[in-house]
Structure 1
Amino acid sequence: VNDDEDPAGIVRYWRDRVPSGSCFFVSHFRSGNNPETAEAEKVLQATFGRGRWRTDAEIGALLDGLDILEPGIVPAPLWRSEEAGTPWKGGQRELTVWERLIAAGMARKP
Structure 2
Amino acid sequence: MAGAPTVSHPELRSLLAAGRARLFDVRSREEAAAGTIPGALNIPVSELESALQMEPAAFQALYSAEKPKLEDENLVFFCQMGKRGFQATQLARGLGYTGYGKVWLLAGK
Structure 1 length-normalised TM = 0.30
**Greater share of strand:** 1
* Structure of higher RCO (CA pairs closer than 8 Å, 6+ residues apart): 1
Structure 2 length-normalised TM = 0.30
**Which structure is larger by alpha-carbon Rg, 1 or 2?**
1
